């Protein structure tokens, strides 16, 4: 195939790390037991955009996210950071997309917090000094600076969540895909997470049931139900659509008077 001007531009832009996008087209996925979890999902997240992914339990949010770094493979097209999600591109894609799973026990497998957070940078071949710096920075970002030598499996769920986020921040990703990052956090941990996500200049797709977090951080909201996107638009508009929210088991955030 001839190389077009656009190909060259795209390749150059990817090389310059300037295409941190997510593009999903007509994605379908059925689990081996026959459960059709994604029934034709299409959306595009622009560079730098912060979008929330909401919807009731079982809507397909986690299944969708697992497609964004190739852990699941459905039918349809997935483009990440300007690259089609095919086997050859997986190492680059996985270096650019920081993915945090819903359950931190799926992410933390080293004996200590330090080893868990160091794993990615070590694997990428950074020298020891740089690895140490990255671990220290990432743990500080999630408010866990004093936990480096603690045992990962002894931490509380909220602490594990924060360490799981640190494991991806230590890789300096361009895109963050976080599956229910605030679930299980105490108010201080949640506030720290909100401040962190607000300050990180990254493209984000973050699933959550925390509608106050959505309202505070995400100008765009993608709503899923039963394996499909049922609404995609401005958070401020969708959060005012009471019947839409009710139809999909969601509630408007209620801000207390304090």
Ligand X SMILES: Nc1ncnc2c1ncn2[C@@H]1O[C@H](COP(=O)(O)OP(=O)(O)O)[C@@H](O)[C@H]1O
Q: Which residues bind Mg ion (CB under 5 A)?
A: 61-62, 102
Residue 37 binds which one of Mg ion, ligand X, none, with CB within 5 to 8 A depending on kind? ligand X
C-beta of 50 vs 61, nearer to Mg ion: 61
Q: Is 108:160 a contact under the CB 8 Å cutoff?
A: yes
Residue 31 binds which one of Mg ion, ligand X, none, with CB within 5 to 8 A depending on kind? ligand X
Report the DSSP pairing between strands 83-84 and 203-207: unpaired
C-beta of 39 vs 137, nearer to ligand X: 39
- Of 7-15, 28-36, 170-178, 246-254, which part binds ligand X (CB under 6 A)? 28-36
Please list the alpha-helical segments (H only) found in the chain.
Answer: 5-15, 61-66, 90-96, 113-123, 128-141, 157-169, 187-199, 211-217, 235-238, 242-247
Residue 173 makes contact with ligand X by CB under 6 A: no
What is the helix (H) or strand (E) element at residue 232, kind and residue range? strand 228-234
Residue 243 makes contact with ligand X by CB under 6 A: no
Residue 249 makes contact with ligand X by CB under 6 A: no
Residue 4 binds which one of ligand X, Mg ion, none, with CB within 5 to 8 A depending on kind? none
HSE (side-chain half, CA atoms, 13 Å) at 231: 23
Name the minimum Å distance from CB 77 to ligand X. Answer: 19
Phi and psi based region of residue 4 (left: phi greater than 0; alpha: psi -120 to 50; beta: remaining):
beta
Q: For residues 32-71, which are near ligand X according to CB under 6 A? A: 33, 35, 37, 55, 57-63
What is the helix (H) or strand (E) element at residue 253, kind and residue range? none
Q: Is 85:93 a contact under the CB 8 Å cutoff?
A: yes
Name the minimum Å distance from CB 250 to Mg ion. Answer: 14
Name the minimum Å distance from CB 32 to ligand X. Answer: 7
Name the minimum Å distance from CB 65 to Mg ion. Answer: 8
Q: What does the block give as tokens for 9? A: 């531009």
C-beta of 37 vs 139, nearer to ligand X: 37
- Of 30-38, 80-88, 142-150, 160-168, which part binds ligand X (CB under 6 A)? 30-38
Judging by beta carbons within 10 Å of its beta carbon (0-12, 13-18, 19+), is residue 104 exposed, middle or buried? Answer: buried
Give the residues lining the site for ligand X (CB under 6 A): 31, 33, 35, 37, 55, 57-63
């Amino acid at each position: 195939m001839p190389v077009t001007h656009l190909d060259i531009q795209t390749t150059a832009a990817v090389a310059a790390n300037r295409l941190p996008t997510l593009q999903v087209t007509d994605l379908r996925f059925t689990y081996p037991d026959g459960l059709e979890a994604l029934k034709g999902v299409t959306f595009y997240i622009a560079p730098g955009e912060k979008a929330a992914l909401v919807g009731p339990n079982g809507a397909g949010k986690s299944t969708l996210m697992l497609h964004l770094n190739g852990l699941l493979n459905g039918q349809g097209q997935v483009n990440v950071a300007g690259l089609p999600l095919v086997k050859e591109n997986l190492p680059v894609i996985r270096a650019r997309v920081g993915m945090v799973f819903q359950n931190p026990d799926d992410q933390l497998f080293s004996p200590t917090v330090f080893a868990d957070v160091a794993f990615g940078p070590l694997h990428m071949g950074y020298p020891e000094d740089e690895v140490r710096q990255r671990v220290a920075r990432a743990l500080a970002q999630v408010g866990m600076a004093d936990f480096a030598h603690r045992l990962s499996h002894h931490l509380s769920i909220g602490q594990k969540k924060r360490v799981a986020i640190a494991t991806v921040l230590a890789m300096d990703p361009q895109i963050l895909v976080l599956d229910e990052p605030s679930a299980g956090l105490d108010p201080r941990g949640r506030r720290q997470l909100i401040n962190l996500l607000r300050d990180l200049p990254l493209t984000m797709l973050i699933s959550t049931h925390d509608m106050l977090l959505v309202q505070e951080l995400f100008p765009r909201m993608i709503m899923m139900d039963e394996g499909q996107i049922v609404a995609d638009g401005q958070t401020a508009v969708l959060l005012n659509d009471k019947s839409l929210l009710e139809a999909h088991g969601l509630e408007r955030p209620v801000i207390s008077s304090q």
